[in-house]
Amino acid sequence: MKISENYSLLKHNTFGLDVKTRWFVEYENEGDLQKLLSDEYFFSLPFLHIGRGSNLLFLDDYPGIILHSLIQGIEVVKEDENSVWVESGAGVEWDSFVAHCVSKAWYGVENLSLIPGEVGASAVQNIGAYGTEVSDTITAVHAYNVETGEKETFEKEDCGFAYRHSIFKDKKYSGKYFITSVVYKLSKQPVYNLEYGNLKDILAGKDVNLGSIRNTVISIRESKLPNPKEMGNAGSFFMNPYVDIVYYKNLKKKYPDIPHYPVNEEFVKIPAAWLIDRCGLKGKKIGGATVHEKQALVIVNTGSATANDIASLASLVCDNVKEKFGIELQREVLFV
Ligand SMILES: Cc1cc2nc3c(=O)[nH]c(=O)nc-3n(C[C@H](O)[C@H](O)[C@H](O)COP(=O)(O)OP(=O)(O)OC[C@H]3O[C@@H](n4cnc5c(N)ncnc54)[C@H](O)[C@@H]3O)c2cc1C
């Protein structure tokens, strides 16, 4: 276990903010985590478990304990003719997990290539891209209950998965469970999901296999999204809003080209990027924070942004969208 005092989180948040935490604790195994959870000092301070900080905005120095799992290991726990159940440690980098699955010819997570972060957070966030959500493959989440110190297993049905949501983000559970591993069920038979975006067009006439899908997803993402190593960001700052169909139809009269995706009989999803772009906010700056020129959903740190610059710009975006379209954007990024 590594414990550091007054530790800079610069390398642990993709916005690249140099904030400090009073304590930073990295544990390598469940034994160390159990020791931590039985230490009274631990409960005397505020605490937060992070992954790679790719969906967080630290507004200030953190006055308590930031925890990070270094639990590694990818293991087959069950197998039949068609499927394989794979358990991965929470501290495994998400994209290394995807690369491993692709190399083993296991189908199901290839569309989620290159999403930053770790396996533990994949379940918290229900990460998604190119028509796939990670909850399509998760069968169980193993986590420690911080209050009892006991290990619990959440079956998929108990996880409350929804768009970028799980019970681990609910008020009742948030911060109360530390995830140690996640079990994914992957297919041994070829099953592809090429319906979303321009995946099918780019792959037309080419060999479609796990490797080519992964490479295509990576190259599209690299061309569209700023690399946090070059320009700090946390990916999509806002979620795509669900809008009542009647309200959407009224908006369509005023904005005939407004895009939408059907959700159910009551709601449609409208791309937040389109709404922000239509407010003319691409390139809008506050201090060192800018709405990305190519992707309106992303707020970038051009080098000197403070957390306040980023948060103020996010509020300005929300206010503009609310004023123009009457739609309230919800943040995807967690403010700490
Ligand atoms: C360039 C870029 C592109 C992105 N693209 C996408 C995308 O296409 N799709 C998408 O869904 N997301 C995307 N994201 C967002 C981000 O990658 C995901 O939200 C990711 O799952 C966050 O992982 P993390 O390990 O960095 O978690 P963090 O940001 O550190 O934490 C996220 C949440 O998980 C909790 N958490 C983390 N680990 C644990 C654990 N072991 N136990 C309990 N709680 C834990 C934290 O408390 C927090 O609530 C993108 C981000 C960036 C920077």
pLDDT tens figures, 175-210: 899 999 999 999 999 999 998 878 988 998 889 999
Calculate the average pLDDT of the chain.
95
- Ligand 1 atom nearest to CA at 48: 47
Q: Which of 47, 125, 218 gets mutated to test ligand 1 (max ligand atoms within 8 A of its CB)?
A: 125
Q: Which of 24, 29, 36, 50 gets mutated to test ligand 1 (max ligand atoms within 8 A of its CB)?
A: 50
Query: 93 CB contacts (<8 Å, ≥6 apart)?
Result: 52, 117, 118, 119
Q: pTM for this one? A: 0.94
| Token pair listed for 43 | 């409960």
What pLDDT is recorded for position 153?
98
- Ligand 1 atom nearest to CA at 225: 1
Contacts 24+ apart (CB under 8 A), 121-124: 121/51, 121/52, 121/54, 121/55, 121/94, 122/94, 122/182, 123/159, 123/166, 123/168, 123/179, 123/182, 124/166, 124/168, 124/169, 124/179
Coil, strand or helix at 63? strand
From CA 144, how far away is CA 152, in angstroms rounded? 6
Distance 233 CA to ligand 1 centre (A): 12
pLDDT tens figures, 99-148: 999 999 999 999 999 999 999 999 999 999 998 999 999 999 999 999 99
Q: Whose CA is nearest to atom 11 of ligand 1?
A: 127
| Token pair listed for 180 | 């140690």
Distance 118 CA to ligand 1 centre (A): 7
3-class secondary structure for 167-210? HHHCCCCCCCEEEEEEEEEEECCCCCCCCCCCHHHHHCCCCCCH
Distance 117 CA to ligand 1 centre (A): 5
- Ligand 1 atom nearest to CA at 55: 29
pLDDT tops 90 at residue 233: yes
DSSP class per residue in 124-169: HHT-EETTEEGGGTEEEEEEEETTT--EEEEEGGGG--BTTB-GGG
pLDDT tens figures, 252-265: 999 999 999 888 88
Instruction: Answer for the pair 143, 151: CB distance below 8 angstroms, yes or no.
Output: yes
